[in-house]
Chain A
Amino acid sequence: MLKILVVGGSSAIAHEAARHFAADGGSLFLVDIDAEKLDAVAADLRTRGAAKVETHVLDVTAIDQHQAMLDAAIASLDGLDAVLIAYGTLGKQEESQADVSVALREMNINLISVIALLTIVANHFEAQKRGCIAAISSVAGDRGRQSNYVYGTAKAGVSAFMQGLRNRLAKSGVSVVTIKPGMVDTPMTAHMKKTPLFSKPHVVGKAIYDGMRQGRGVVYAPWYWRFVMLIIRNIPEPIFKRMSL
């Protein structure tokens, strides 16, 4: 059964995806910043049939500790088949606009630490010539919009980095899956007013599971965001810049 490292393992979306791997009898190594939340998620996954669940507390911005964490995961699971990177923050755009340090902090968590992590994971999987790397990007990265372009910039960076990795690792038999959720009803969006465009974490979790199993390239979740973003990307810039999006 699959051996999976989930970074951001107690996030709502990651947990929903992990439930499917657990039900299949997979083994999971969960990494997050809060030990108590990790314990609650680990108990759920064990109960649902995971062969093994280990937890590891880490602040992902401590980039010098990434390699030790990856080594611990590989040792604990006795190998590694897949990695899911599922953490992130959604800061308020106005705060990022007003204060450079806030914007850079957002970039550090959502982009820089992800690039660091993806680099060592990619090297590991390239060497073992198999595996699946999945990372949660966002539809927000498909086009910069005034309402969240700092977050969107980070996610655009993740998407581009993943695209490059996919190109590089295809010949090594490693699949690289970029997940692009739309708006999801999770603690991260608790401050936002919910509209019918929001979807539930379990819908996105299932899409991640299916996308990783099938080794797909880019997964929009739910699927209809592919077409929503196709339209949004194709609005001519002279018109787009006047829209309030």
Chain B
Amino acid sequence: MHSANVTKRYESWGRYPKPEHAAVEHMRWCHDPPDFATLDHTVLPFGYGRSYGDSCLNNGGILLDITELRRLIDFDAEKGIIRCEAGITLAELLDFIVPHGWFLPVTPGTKFISIGGAIANDVHGKNHHVDGTFGCHVTQFELLRSSGEHLICSPQENSELYRATIGGLGLTGIITWAEFTLKPILSAYVDMERIRFGNLEEFFALADESAEDYIYTVGWLDCLSQGKNFGRGLYTRGNHHDPPLDAVINDIQAKPKITLPIDFPNFAINTLTVKAFNEVYYRSQLSKIIRGVVHYDPFFYPLDVANDWNRLYGKRGFMQYQCVVPYKDSLEPIKEIIRRIGVSGQGSPLVVFKIFGDVESPGMLSFPRPGVTLALDFPNNGQRTLTLLEDLDRIVRESGGAKYPAKDAHMSFESFEISYPNWQEFAQHIDPMFSSSFWRRMMAGREQIC
């Protein structure tokens, strides 16, 4: 388990760039913050280091480790409302709430993140088209400012700070605890279908057809195939499984009765084997469609079974790339992006592909917005990689799309500004003692332009 690891690394998940922090402080109790007056560097809260780029780093400054803030505070098992300290992981929460018949309102592809991080990055998941982002479900939280103030933030109270902190990249202060609503479930299982699609048009048709009847949908795209195989992939959709009436809630965590080979090959992220892998992966599903009942763990967190899979990329690290682009008027931008990635031969074999819905987040810097989003890894090949990513960013900018800071170590200020036109409104709410490598990179880019 991740938590057994005591020699913790204060780096980002992509292990690029490499930070040197002046110090790492620990906050162990909500009522016992660091003495900001004695700190001579800027501060950034740090959880489990699952942000990919530099948004969770504070090079030259202080990281404030909040992972010992992992106590529950209150739980309403009737209404499905939980209040907990911000350093608790989704994994720990799931262990507690699932046996009570509740699930996370929104979950990303790993459960080893903190609640504070889920809010600060306004994370999304396979149900974005139905439920929006994590921030949409946050009823209130406490924000600790360097002034020493403990502020309750909610849609009613300190509402501007509430909106700035959701998606606020940890820059507005420390989230000490949060309260949010949960999703009722009748079992720990998911009714899953996986369907092969031959091209992008088929993907969008599947997405249209599935949007109303399935709360979880996602595509995996083979971006290396050109010609007649261009845009092929696998489409996954699912709903929480309702057991027969005689099944008791106590069995909620029991082993699945039907198992499917849906674990993803974690070790295939190697450019030499990419094409062969994709062929095998795509062909491994012989029938057009497979159905089954799977436990929530392999359905939502396939990569969590391999600890530290990020280290497979070696010391140089890797860069994640995630963008969202509009597709209603034209499929051309997204096709162009996929084509460029394919031609470059630099990307990871699997590209995650998902339609975002129009559920609006309260977060000022929230990333998800209507469009199609695409995410993949690039091994860090230095300038070659950066040039490719900037090429892709240009297409994103021209299409009116956006980039995701949580997965970024390269975007230009221009991309940031186009993605977040209200960033200046957000910036007013940044705590004067708080900063991050990402934020300084953006502001330095701005100065170059001005």
Q: Using an 8 Å CB-CB cutoff, how does the interface string of A86-117 with B read, 1 for contact, 0 for none?
A: 00000000000000000000000000000000
- Number of A-B contacts defined by CB within 8 Å: 44
Q: Are A47 and B4 in contact (CB under 8 A)?
A: no
Q: Are B3 and A202 in contact (CB under 8 A)?
A: yes
> Contact residue range for chain B?
10 to 19
- Chain B residues within 8 Å of A187, by CB: 26, 28
Decide if B31 is an interface residue (CB 8 Å cutoff): yes
Known: A43-B73, A44-B72, A47-B74. A199 touches B6 (CB 8 A): yes
Known: A48-B96, A187-B28, A190-B26. A40 touches B7 (CB 8 A): no
Decide if B29 is an interface residue (CB 8 Å cutoff): yes
Docked complex Cα distance between A200 and B68 (Å): 11
Considering only residues 156-199 of chain A, those with a C-beta below 8 Å from chain B are 185, 187, 190, 194-196, 198-199
Docked complex Cα distance between A44 and B28 (Å): 14
Considering only residues 11-42 of chain B, those with a C-beta below 8 Å from chain A are 26, 28-32
Shortest CB-to-CB span from B63 to chain A, Å, is 15
Shortest CB-to-CB span from A16 to chain B, Å, is 11
Q: Are A194 and B72 in contact (CB under 8 A)?
A: no
- Chain A residues within 8 Å of B32, by CB: 36
Identify which of B6, B26, B71 contacts A40 (C-beta below 8 A): B71
Decide if A203 is an interface residue (CB 8 Å cutoff): yes
Q: Are A37 and B96 in contact (CB under 8 A)?
A: no
Q: Are B3 and A196 in contact (CB under 8 A)?
A: no
Q: Are B31 and A40 in contact (CB under 8 A)?
A: yes
Considering only residues 55-85 of chain B, those with a C-beta below 8 Å from chain A are 68, 71-75, 85
Decide if A41 is an interface residue (CB 8 Å cutoff): yes
Q: Are A203 and B72 in contact (CB under 8 A)?
A: no
Q: Are A48 and B72 in contact (CB under 8 A)?
A: yes
Identify which of A37, A47, A185 contacts B6 (C-beta below 8 A): A185
Q: Using an 8 Å CB-CB cutoff, how does the interface string of A34-73 with B read, 1 for contact, 0 for none?
A: 0011001101100110000000000000000000000000
Q: Are B71 and A203 in contact (CB under 8 A)?
A: no
Docked complex Cα distance between A185 and B68 (Å): 11
Q: Using an 8 Å CB-CB cutoff, how does the interface string of A187-223 with B read, 1 for contact, 0 for none?
A: 1001000111011101100000000000000000000
- Chain B residues within 8 Å of A199, by CB: 4, 6
Shortest CB-to-CB span from A60 to chain B, Å, is 20
Q: Are A44 and B26 in contact (CB under 8 A)?
A: no
Q: Are B71 and A44 in contact (CB under 8 A)?
A: yes
Docked complex Cα distance between A48 and B3 (Å): 20
Shortest CB-to-CB span from A149 to chain B, Å, is 25
Docked complex Cα distance between A195 and B8 (Å): 10
Docked complex Cα distance between A37 and B28 (Å): 10
Q: Which residues of A contact B (CB under 8 A)?
A: 12, 36-37, 40-41, 43-44, 47-48, 185, 187, 190, 194-196, 198-200, 202-203
> Which 10 A-B pairs have CB atoms at the shortest separation, nearest pair first?
A44-B71, A47-B72, A198-B6, A185-B6, A36-B31, A44-B72, A47-B75, A43-B73, A194-B6, A194-B7
Q: Which residues of B contact A (CB under 8 A)?
A: 3-4, 6-8, 26, 28-32, 68, 71-75, 85, 96
Beyond A44-B72, A48-B96, list 7 extra A-B contacts (CB 8 Å).
A37-B29, A41-B71, A43-B74, A44-B73, A187-B26, A190-B26, A200-B3
9 pairs across A/B with beta carbons < 8 Å? A12-B68, A36-B29, A37-B29, A40-B31, A43-B72, A48-B72, A194-B8, A199-B6, A200-B6
